[in-house]
């Protein structure tokens, strides 16, 4: 079962696991951002988690670290699922928060990481093409951050050259 | 360049009426007769040298950038594909989505848990009931009431969900057939979809924006003559599918755009996060209804069709067969459905009957609190997944214990399918772009949210 996968992960990387829980039957591990690439590659190659189901982020404004990037994995052989979370903080006035990209492990992460950059302003180091995907390049800010007011309006400005 | 003259050509050919001098000399006829070509002589315009010369003339094939979309009749919803073409061959493609983005998540964070149902209708707007069911299951999982949902409500959810799956596939296949010229197929399939939507309209009050499912059950019980009408409908839809298949399966134009076009291997499909009919077309038998049964799907006998080559035709065939399997599920569900309530009996979750709301103070307060404050969902996070029209439709919701979600993320299957569209169309012809795109079945509302 998925619990065994979680235990195996904890046994292999004891120093990188921040917390684990199994709320509502969803096996979850919070890992350190510094070990993310290594753990993800191990999960894909040794753990058999070959399908990256979902990748998203949550903004816990007022908490430190502020952001959480959430990965949902599934093994096509066993059908087990695992949720990996990584917490990253934000430096006031500094560069946007950054976490390692997993595109080289699962190509499926490509647009999902672009979406997280677009809507949450979290950068992914090593992403081949980190453009906005749902909004347009001229958009200012990242609307799913909790400090972005829902009522804010922005004019749609056109790029001079429409071709890439 | 000039061609050599045939041998024995007269030195002079004369046109017009014979002159008196020619008549006297007796040469009038000879001068006007066509020269008789010797054996072996061919007219210059059929000579091989000509063909060689034409082959030498090549068209300039510099790479050219072509914009397909965003406003194109064959683009379901709005999407822009920037193609770099060399002649008729696509060399590079940049797929750009987001034209229908309308902040589903941001709006959901400001709405109560129940108010999100209308937003989910507008995700995959050709199968809105599947989205309703998927979202309701996610909230119920976090509430911990999955096992307490009345059985009749679970059966109704299966029935409306499978009906929506059929309308989803009918729209996808009908529109794709129309795009390659088979307009009759489109009309027939849309006619069948209309029958289904008439019945759904009678049940839910709306054709598209149903908002029929509620947290803890469904809004209303089935109409009295629902079962006989559904049985009659299934018979007619089956007949339509047979007719459509006879028009398409042996149709050369259709097969040319489908067979062996845009192949994808199972390994690639898994790596790119494919789910649903597109993943099954590559031969991977992953169906959430079979692998992680939810509601009452484990009580039905149905098969999961898979393809073998992962090309456009397999995606077509898998969807055709899935509609038949959905009808099998519908027939079994309408036989097995037990009587009983359709809403959970819990005043913290379901609204009291209108009679109580208008006549008792407790009922009115209960109603008021549920409408204004919303259902209180315990703090926590949950990921719940169902089989949507295009693949695994997941909801990742985070609650902070209030009546509104802290985060409500939908895993949109067609957004994830669309990111590998460029892999499918690069290397093929321009004419293959639209059928391939049609078989991916991107739904703008779901892809862009």
Per mean pLDDT, which of A2-6, B11-15, B149-153 is the most reliable?
B149-153
**375-394 in chain B: CB under 8 A from chain A:** 380-383, 385, 392, 394
- For B153-192, the pLDDT digits (tens) are 999 999 999 999 999 999 989 888 888 888 888 999 999 9
Token digits of residue B175: 């529109």
Task: Give the residue numbers spanning the domain of A60.
Answer: 2-97
* Chain A interface mutation, best of B78, B419, B421, highest count of A Cβ atoms under 10 Å: B419
Are the C-beta atoms of B377 and B401 separated by less than 8 Å? yes
Alpha-carbon span A110 to A103, nearest angstrom? 6
Alpha-carbon span B289 to A82, nearest angstrom? 19
- For B402-427, the pLDDT digits (tens) are 888 999 999 999 899 988 888 888 88
Least confident of A84-98, A146-160, B96-110: A146-160
Alpha-carbon span B360 to A6, nearest angstrom? 51
Rounded to a whole number of angstroms, the distance from the CA of A86 to the nearest CA of chain B is 15
Domain-embedded: residue A38: yes
Averaged confidence pLDDT in chain B: 85
Nearest CA to B373 out of B192, B27, B115 is that of B115
Alpha-carbon span A8 to A21, nearest angstrom? 14
- Beta strand pairing call for A67-74 and A28-31: unpaired
- For A21-74, the pLDDT digits (tens) are 888 888 888 998 888 888 898 888 888 888 899 999 998 888 888 899 999 999
H or E element at residue B409: strand B405-411
Domain-embedded: residue A18: yes
pLDDT at B50 over 70: no
Rounded to a whole number of angstroms, the distance from the CA of B277 to the nearest CA of chain A is 16
Are the C-beta atoms of A82 and A73 separated by less than 8 Å? yes
pLDDT above 90 covers a percentage of chain A that reads: 15
Alpha-carbon span A134 to B386, nearest angstrom? 24
Rounded to a whole number of angstroms, the distance from the CA of A26 to the nearest CA of chain B is 7
Per mean pLDDT, which of A5-9, B133-137, B258-262 is the most reliable?
B133-137
- Contact criterion met (CB < 8 Å) for B106 and A144: yes
- Contact criterion met (CB < 8 Å) for B394 and A70: no
pLDDT at B223 over 80: yes
- For B68-78, the pLDDT digits (tens) are 877 776 666 68
Domain-embedded: residue A79: yes
Domain-embedded: residue A138: no
- Contact criterion met (CB < 8 Å) for B271 and A79: no
Alpha-carbon span B413 to B393, nearest angstrom? 6
Alpha-carbon span B71 to A129, nearest angstrom? 25
Greater confidence, B10 or B230?
B230
pLDDT at B3 over 70: no
Average pLDDT over residues B93-102: 86
Q: Which residues of A touch B70 (CB under 8 A)?
A: none
Amino acid B135: pLDDT: 92
Average pLDDT over residues B213-235: 90
Alpha-carbon span B163 to B264, nearest angstrom? 29
* Cα angle value A148/A153/A158 (rounded, 5°): 115
Average pLDDT over residues B86-104: 85
B133 pLDDT tier (thresholds 50, 70, 90): very high
- Contact criterion met (CB < 8 Å) for A134 and B98: yes
Average pLDDT over residues B119-143: 90
B265 CB near a chain A CB, below 8 Å? no
Nearest CA to A154 out of B140, B101, B397, B169 is that of B101
Q: If you ran DSSP here, which 8-state letter would residue A94 be given?
A: S
Measured in whole angstroms, the distance separating CA B383 from the mean position of its chain's CA atoms is 25
Alpha-carbon span A158 to B129, nearest angstrom? 37
Alpha-carbon span B44 to A49, nearest angstrom? 70
Cβ–Cβ contacts within 10 Å for residue B236, how many? 13
Alpha helices in B337-407 (DSSP H): 354-359, 361-372
Nearest CA to B326 out of B200, B166, B134 is that of B166
Domain-embedded: residue A128: no
Rounded to a whole number of angstroms, the distance from the CA of B98 to the nearest CA of chain A is 4
A84 Cβ neighbours under 8 A, 6+ residues apart: A28, A29, A31, A36, A39, A40, A43, A70, A71, A73
Token digits of residue B399: 């609650």
Read off the CATH number of the domain in which A44 is found.
Answer: 3.30.460.80
A119 CB near a chain B CB, below 8 Å? yes
- Contact criterion met (CB < 8 Å) for A24 and B291: no
Nearest CA to B122 out of B381, B353, B355, B444 is that of B444
- Contact criterion met (CB < 8 Å) for B101 and A135: yes
- Contact criterion met (CB < 8 Å) for B382 and A24: yes
Amino acid B84: pLDDT: 87
pLDDT at B54 over 60: no
- Of the candidates B273, B398, B420, the beta carbon closest to that of A51 is on B273
Domain-embedded: residue A114: no
Nearest CA to B244 out of B164, B157, B166, B162 is that of B166
Counting the structural domains of chain A, the total is 1
- Backbone φ and ψ for A146, nearest 5 degrees, come out as -65, -20
Average pLDDT over residues A100-104: 90
pLDDT at B1 over 50: no
Amino acid B36: pLDDT: 59
pLDDT at B232 over 50: yes
Examine the predicted complex and report whether its ipTM is higher than 0.90: no
A136 CB near a chain B CB, below 8 Å? yes
Token digits of residue B52: 């060689």
What pairs with residue B95 in β-bridges? Answer: B81
Rounded to a whole number of angstroms, the distance from the CA of A126 to the nearest CA of chain B is 18
Rounded to a whole number of angstroms, the distance from the CA of A91 to the nearest CA of chain B is 23
pLDDT at B134 over 70: yes
**86-105 in chain B: CB under 8 A from chain A:** 94, 97-98, 101, 103, 105
Domain-embedded: residue A26: yes
- Beta strand pairing call for B89-96 and B80-86: antiparallel
- Contact criterion met (CB < 8 Å) for B97 and A50: no
A65 CB near a chain B CB, below 8 Å? no
Q: Which residues of A touch B383 (CB under 8 A)?
A: 26, 54, 72, 81, 83
Half-sphere exposure of B58 (CA within 13 A, CB side): 5
Amino acid B192: pLDDT: 92
Per mean pLDDT, which of B7-21, B244-258, B331-345 is the most reliable?
B331-345
- For B349-406, the pLDDT digits (tens) are 888 888 888 999 988 998 898 888 888 888 889 999 999 888 899 999 999 888 889 9
A150 CB near a chain B CB, below 8 Å? yes
Greater confidence, B125 or A163?
B125
Q: What global pTM score does this model have?
A: 0.82
Token digits of residue B178: 């129309």
Nearest CA in chain A to B380: A23
> In which region does residue B59 sit, left (phi positive, over 0), alpha (psi from -120 to 50) or beta (all else)?
beta
Token digits of residue A27: 């096996």
B83 pLDDT tier (thresholds 50, 70, 90): confident
- Backbone φ and ψ for B380, nearest 5 degrees, come out as 150, -175
Alpha-carbon span B412 to B294, nearest angstrom? 19
């Amino acid at each position: 079962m998925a619990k065994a996968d979680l235990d195996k992960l904890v046994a292999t990387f004891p120093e990188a696991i921040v917390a684990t829980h199994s709320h509502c039957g969803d096996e979850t591990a919070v890992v350190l951002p510094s070990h993310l690439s290594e753990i993800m590659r191990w999960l894909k190659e040794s753990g058999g988690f070959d399908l990256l189901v979902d990748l998203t982020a949550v903004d816990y404004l007022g908490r430190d670290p502020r952001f959480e990037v959430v990965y949902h994995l599934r093994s096509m052989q066993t059908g087990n699922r695992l949720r990996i979370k990584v917490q990253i903080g934000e430096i006031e006035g500094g560069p946007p928060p950054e976490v390692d990209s997993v595109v080289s492990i699962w190509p499926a992460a490509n647009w999902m990481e672009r979406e997280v950059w677009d809507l949450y302003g979290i950068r992914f180091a090593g992403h081949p093409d980190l453009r906005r995907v749902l909004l347009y390049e001229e958009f200012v800010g990242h609307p799913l951050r909790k400090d972005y007011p829902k009522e804010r309006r922005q004019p749609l400005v056109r790029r001079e050259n429409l071709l890439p | 360049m000039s061609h050599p003259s045939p041998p024995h050509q007269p030195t002079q050919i004369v046109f017009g009426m014979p002159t008196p001098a020619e008549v006297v000399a007796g040469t009038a006829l000879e001068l006007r007769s066509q020269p008789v070509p010797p054996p072996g002589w061919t007219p210059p315009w059929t000579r091989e040298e000509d063909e060689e010369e034409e082959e030498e003339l090549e068209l300039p094939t510099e790479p050219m950038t072509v914009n397909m979309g965003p406003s194109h009749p064959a683009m379901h919803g709005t999407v822009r594909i920037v193609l770099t073409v060399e002649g008729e061959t696509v060399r590079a493609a940049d797929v750009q989505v987001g034209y229908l983005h309308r902040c589903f998540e941001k709006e959901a964070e400001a709405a109560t848990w129940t108010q999100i149902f209308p937003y989910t209708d507008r995700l995959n707007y050709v199968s809105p009931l599947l989205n309703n069911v998927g979202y309701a299951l996610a909230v119920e999982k976090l509430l911990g009431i999955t096992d307490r949902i009345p059985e009749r409500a679970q059966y109704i959810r299966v029935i409306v969900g499978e009906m929506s799956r059929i309308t989803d596939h009918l729209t996808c296949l009908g529109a794709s057939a129309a795009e390659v010229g088979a307009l009759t197929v489109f009309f027939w399939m849309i006619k069948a979809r209309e029958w289904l939507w008439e019945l759904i309209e009678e049940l839910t009050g709306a054709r598209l924006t149903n908002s029929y499912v509620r947290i803890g059950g469904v809004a209303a019980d089935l109409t009295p003559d629902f079962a006989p009408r559904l049985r009659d409908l299934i018979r007619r839809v089956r007949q339509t599918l047979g007719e459509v298949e006879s028009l398409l399966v042996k149709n050369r134009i259709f097969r040319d755009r489908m067979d062996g076009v845009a192949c994808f291997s199972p390994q690639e499909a898994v790596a790119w996060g494919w789910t649903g009919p597109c993943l099954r077309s590559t031969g991977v038998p992953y169906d959430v209804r079979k692998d992680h049964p939810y509601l009452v799907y484990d009580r039905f006998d149905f098969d999961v069709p898979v393809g073998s080559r992962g090309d456009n035709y397999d995606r077509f065939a898998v969807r055709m067969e899935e509609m038949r399997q959905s009808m099998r599920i519908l027939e079994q569900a309408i036989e097995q459905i037990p009587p009983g309530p359709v809403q959970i009996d819990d005043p913290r979750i379901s609204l009291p009957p209108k009679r109580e709301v208008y006549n008792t103070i407790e009922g009115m307060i209960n109603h008021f609190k549920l409408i204004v404050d919303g259902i209180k969902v315990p703090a926590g996070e949950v990921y719940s997944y169902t089989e949507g029209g295009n693949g695994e439709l997941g909801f990742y919701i985070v609650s902070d214990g209030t009546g509104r979600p802290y985060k409500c993320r939908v895993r949109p299957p067609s957004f994830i399918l669309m990111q590998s569209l460029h892999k499918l169309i690069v290397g093929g012809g321009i004419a293959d772009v639209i059928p391939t795109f049609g078989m991916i079945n991107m739904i703008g509302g779901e892809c862009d949210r």
